[in-house]
Every structure is written in structure tokens, then in C-alpha cells.
């Protein structure tokens, strides 16, 4: 995939999502859906066949921390059965995250990426209730549009 094709993919996703703030996906790689922050990463030079989607599920906090971490770890046991995602923790910000690598981009469609973002938003909202993750605060838009670095 090229940078221009990635930009077009982001534009197409924005049209499908029909969110007034979806245009930030194109300029910054950041999108918030139903209060759930998502980041999309692409680097044409380092990984031209991979798009990475990172969804923030919520803040873990100190209350029942061990149980929450155990639940997240357990979710990884089931996530590889047809849905290639991994759950973990952003250690710098104490947030539960979900990461998905879309490899072989020749077949990645805007519908598939939009569906993933919508599904992860719904899933994160359920997790915030089920395992008491605190919602993550909104990330301010990056005025420089810094986006395209594989984490």
C-alpha cells in the first residue's frame, strides 16, 4: 500500500462511519467513536503491507487491578480464534488496549476497517461496564498531523 492509498482508505472509512469528527482519522490517525479513542498507524517505508489499529479500552485503575489484568490476559486466549487481535496494557498510561494488525493490505477494505472500529468501540463500552474500566479521556487532536509511525 502507498501513502496515497492509505489516505484514500481513511477517507473511505470516514464516509462509512458518518461521524462529524471522522475527518481527524485522515489528518492525524486518531478517531474517537462512542467515546473510545482509536489510532491507526501506517508506514509506507517500514511496513508497506501492514496497518495497525490501536483501540483504548479504558483505564485499569487500582481497584480490583489484579482481577482486571487477569481478565485481559484471559481474553487473549480466545481472541485468536478467527479475530486476530491482542489485548494488553499501555504501561505508560495504565490503559487497557486492543491492537490489531491488518496484514496483506491488498484485500483490506474500508468496510472491514470501519466494521473493526465500530466493533471495538462497542466492545470497549461493554468492557468498561463488565470489568469496571474507567473511560479514557479524549485525546486532543494533533495539529501537526503526526500519525504514520508503527508503534
What are the boundaries of each domain within the chain?
A: 3-130
The number of beta carbons lying within 10 Å of the beta carbon of residue 74 is 11
Beta strands 30-33 and 36-43, pairing class: antiparallel
Instruction: Quote the pLDDT of residue 111.
Output: 92
Instruction: Quote the pLDDT of residue 63.
Output: 85
Taking only the tens of pLDDT, the chain with its 151 residues reads 888 888 888 888 888 887 666 667 878 888 888 888 999 998 889 888 888 999 998 888 888 888 888 888 888 877 655 567 888 888 788 888 989 888 877 778 889 889 988 988 888 888 888 877 777 776 554 434 434 333 3
Fold of 3-130: Yope Regulator; Chain: A, (3.30.1460)
Maximum distance among all Cα pairs of the chain, rounded to whole angstroms: 45
Q: How many residues does the chain have?
A: 151
Amino acid at each position: 500500500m502507498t501513502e496515497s492509498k492509505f489516505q484514500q482508505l481513511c477517507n473511505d472509512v470516514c464516509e462509512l462511519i458518518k461521524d462529524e469528527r471522522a475527518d481527524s482519522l485522515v489528518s492525524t490517525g486518531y478517531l474517537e467513536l462512542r467515546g473510545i479513542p482509536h489510532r491507526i498507524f501506517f508506514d509506507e517505508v517500514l511496513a508497506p503491507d501492514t496497518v495497525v489499529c490501536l483501540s483504548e479500552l479504558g483505564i485499569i485503575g487500582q481497584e480490583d487491578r489484579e482481577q482486571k489484568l487477569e481478565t485481559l490476559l484471559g481474553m487473549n486466549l480466545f481472541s485468536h480464534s478467527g479475530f486476530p487481535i491482542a489485548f494488553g496494557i499501555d504501561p505508560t498510561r495504565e490503559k487497557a488496549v486492543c491492537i490489531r494488525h491488518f496484514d496483506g493490505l491488498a484485500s483490506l477494505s474500508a468496510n472491514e476497517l470501519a466494521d473493526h472500529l465500530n466493533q471495538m468501540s462497542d466492545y470497549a463500552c461493554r468492557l468498561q461496564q463488565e470489568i469496571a474500566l474507567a473511560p479514557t479521556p479524549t485525546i486532543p487532536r494533533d495539529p501537526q498531523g503526526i500519525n504514520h509511525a508503527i508503534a
